[in-house]
Amino acid sequence: MMEQLRELSLCRGISGDEDEIAALIERLAAPYADRIERDSVGNLCVYKKGKSSEKKLLVAAHMDEVGLLVSYITPEGLLRFQPVGGIDPRVILGRRVLVGPTGIPGVIGTKPIHLSTEEERRTAPGVERLYIDIGAMREEEARRYVCEGDTASFDSDFVLFGDGMIKGKALDNRVGCAAALTALQCTPAFDTVFAFTVEEEVGLRGAYAVAYRERPDFAIVVDTTTAADVDGIAPHERACRLGEGAVLFFMENSTLYRKEDYRWVEQTAQKNGISYQFKDYIAGGLDAGAIQRTAAGIPTVSIATPCRYLHSPSCVVKQSDAEATEALLCAMVADGTWTERKAE
């Protein structure tokens, strides 16, 4: 899993600009797929025959990542930008980025401290005070390499460190993509569409189209979710914890899950001896919000790997949690008992 995850993490795919990551996932999925298609909004749909064709399962993992969008080039050749997805501007100053289709190196800058006002020094700069410096001296020079509308991704190494920890960019949600790619290798109980969705980070937009087109009988979303298990946060606000296994959900901001559905996920984890935790603080949203309420309604569950510093250049997950999420997804796909869920 680690080698594949390294490749997925380093690959670029800002929301709306997912061709590079889609091509990589297509290459990784091809040996195990019956059929692969990209739909009109860019979702990569990988079809896999199951033991039975009586029902249809959708597994959705978003492949896009948060990043930046070049919105204006200054006469000095600096790039003003807009965030794509939820980015905390406090964590990006001074970071390296890769801009445009060829990945021009750049660094995020702001005006020097000795020229900042008292007020500016006290507060972290918002995106309006930041720019990307690609080393160009004039607008015309910058335009040779980039143009408005180009996306920029974080330039961040994939590193294993500490007690089984992984640090990298876009672990949200390349960890989920890696899990889905592993699950693709098993024989599903029912015909399954593995959808690598676009534009999750800007409003679950790709998932709407996939769910509408496929109309599955059941859907599983696999993602990462924010862990606030750090110093200074009260236990009840930590949401989930690294090292405690796959995260299960009864609710997040976009979805209220049905009890019989998330209980089935829990039972599958228990049956297979997979460590799990419930997300115990309501925050964030997942593709489930789009899928569950598509068409006349689709029963949907979600699982996730806990991730610290989500949406930053340095996401941190624990390898054992990523493996638990992967094992749980494989078990859920192979196990057809989701058809036997009973309302409580």
Partner 1 sequence: MDWREWIERIASIPAPAGGEAARAQAISRIIETVANEIASDAMGNLIVRRRGTRPEKLMLSAHLDQPGIIITFAEPDGMLRFSALGKAEPLALINTEMVFGEVRGVVAAPAGIALDSIKCSDLMLDISASDREEAVRLLPPGSAGCPAGILRRRGSRVMAPAVGTSVCAALLCGLAERKPLYDTYFVFTAQSGLGARGAKTAAFAIEPDFCVEIAPAAESSAFHRGDGVGIQVSNRCALSHPRMVRALADAAAKAGQRVQLLAAQPAASDLFMMQSAGSGAFAAGISLPVAHLDTVAECADLRDAEAAEQALCALLDMEIG
Per-residue string for binding with partner 1, 218-247, x by CB under 8 A?
A: -----------------xxx----------
CB of 288 to partner 1, least distance (A): 12
Least spacing, CB of residue 242 vs partner 1, in Å = 17
Applying CB under 8 A, which part among 55-63, 97-105, 109-117, 248-256 lies near partner 1? Answer: 248-256
CB 206, CB 71: distance < 8 Å: no
> Can you tell me the distance from the alpha carbon of 242 to that of 74, in angstroms, rounded to the nearest whole number?
43
Closest CA to 165 of 38, 7, 314: 314
Rule CB under 8 A: choose which of 250, 264, 276, 309 binds partner 1: 250
Pick out residues in 311-330 that bind partner 1 (CB under 8 A): none
Interface pattern 259-298 for partner 1 (x via CB under 8 A): x--x---------------x-xxx---------xxxxxxx
Which ranges constitute the DSSP H helices of the chain? Answer: 2-10, 19-29, 118-122, 139-143, 171-183, 205-214, 259-271, 288-292, 319-334
Residues 6 or more apart in contact with residue 21 via CB below 8 angstroms: 8, 11, 12, 13, 63, 64, 65, 196
Residues in 38-77 that interact with partner 1 by CB under 8 A: none
One DSSP character per residue, 193-255 reads EEEEES-GGGTSHHHHHHHHHH--SEEEEEEEEE---STT--GGG----TTS-EEE-SEETTE
Closer CB to partner 1, 160 or 295, in the complex? 295
Binders in 134-153 for partner 1, by CB under 8 A: none
Which residue of 113, 115, 137, 343 would you call a contact of partner 1, by CB under 8 A? 343
- The kind and range of the H/E element at 154 are strand 151-154
Minimum gap (Å) between residue 296 Cβ and partner 1:
4
3-class DSSP state for residue 191?
A: strand
Whether 200 sits among the annotated catalytic residues: the reply is yes
The one among 103, 203, 243, 299 contacting partner 1 by CB under 8 A: 299
Strand partners, 165: 161, 318
CB count within 10 Å of CB 228 equals: 17
Minimum gap (Å) between residue 341 Cβ and partner 1:
11
We find the least distance from the C-beta atom of residue 238 to partner 1, in angstroms, to be: 9
Name the residue nearer to partner 1 (CB basis): 170 or 242. 242
- Name residue, tokens 């036997």: 340
H/E element holding 340?
none
Whose tokens are 């876009």? That residue is 170
Closest approach, Cβ 120 to partner 1, in A, equals 27
The residue from 256, 285, 320, 339 that contacts partner 1 (CB under 8 A) is 256
Q: Which of the following is catalytic: 199, 200, 323, 326?
A: 200
Query: Using CB under 8 A as the criterion, which residues of the chain lie in contact with partner 1 when the complex forms?
Result: 235-237, 250-251, 256-259, 262, 278, 280-282, 292-299, 343
The catalytic site residues sit at: 200
